[in-house]
């Protein structure tokens, strides 16, 4: 199932829009497991509350797919780019990386503040977030772009 989800997200990444003719997406939508996966990762139509990244930073965040079951956001951080403070969903999220990229700094706006650095990623890598309300700024510390999708 993970391989099918990755292929579907990769198809969305390449086309930058929903394409019903994409056989991987069509097959994925037919699988009842998708519903179970969506529920397992806390899929919801809910989005960030205060600073929606899609609205605040449309150059960096855009919807690849958004429906009643799942929300998939394309994420782009340019080389050495800083993105201002924004919020993320409280629901569990899966991140799939579409490029080899360097480290990215996340500056969390909470008490006490903390600044984790995401290590470099490779094409096809993914990570799961258990879900929590999150507000942070992002700085790409690398000479290369970072491209991914976030699904919650």
φ and ψ of 101, to 5 deg:
-150, 165
CA atoms within 13 A of residue 29's CA, in its CB half-sphere? 13
Please give the DSSP secondary-structure letter assigned to residue 78.
-
3-state secondary structure of 8: helix
Kindly report the pTM of this predicted structure: 0.66
User: Token pair 């179970």 is at which residue?
Assistant: 36
Burial label, 115 (beta-carbon count in 10 A; 0-12, 13-18, 19+): exposed
CA–CA distance, 140 with 83 (Å, rounded to integer):
9
pLDDT tens digits along 46-82: 333 458 899 999 999 999 999 988 899 999 999 999 9
**Domains, in order of start, for the chain:** 2-151 (2.60.120.10)
| Tokens read off for 59 | 């150059």
CA–CA distance, 1 with 90 (Å, rounded to integer):
24
Cross-strand partners of 126 = 96
pLDDT confidence tier of residue 83, bands split at 50, 70 and 90: very high
pLDDT tens digits along 13-51: 555 555 555 555 555 554 444 444 444 444 333 333 458
Helices 23-30/2-15 angle, 10° precision: 140
CA–CA distance, 133 with 131 (Å, rounded to integer):
7
């Amino acid at each position: 199932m993970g391989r099918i989800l990755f292929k579907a997200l990769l198809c969305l990444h390449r086309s930058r829009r929903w394409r019903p003719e994409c056989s991987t997406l069509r097959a994925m939508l037919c699988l009842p497991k998708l519903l179970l996966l969506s529920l397992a990762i806390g899929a919801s139509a809910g989005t960030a509350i205060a600073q929606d990244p899609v609205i605040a930073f449309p150059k960096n965040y855009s919807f690849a797919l958004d429906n009643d079951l799942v929300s998939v956001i394309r994420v782009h951080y340019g080389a050495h780019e800083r993105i201002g403070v924004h919020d993320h969903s409280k629901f569990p999220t899966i991140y799939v990386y579409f490029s080899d990229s360097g480290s990215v700094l996340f500056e969390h706006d909470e008490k006490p503040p903390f600044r984790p650095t995401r290590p470099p990623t490779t094409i096809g890598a993914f990570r799961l977030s258990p879900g929590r309300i999150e507000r942070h700024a992002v700085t790409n510390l690398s000479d290369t772009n970072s491209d991914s999708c976030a699904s919650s």
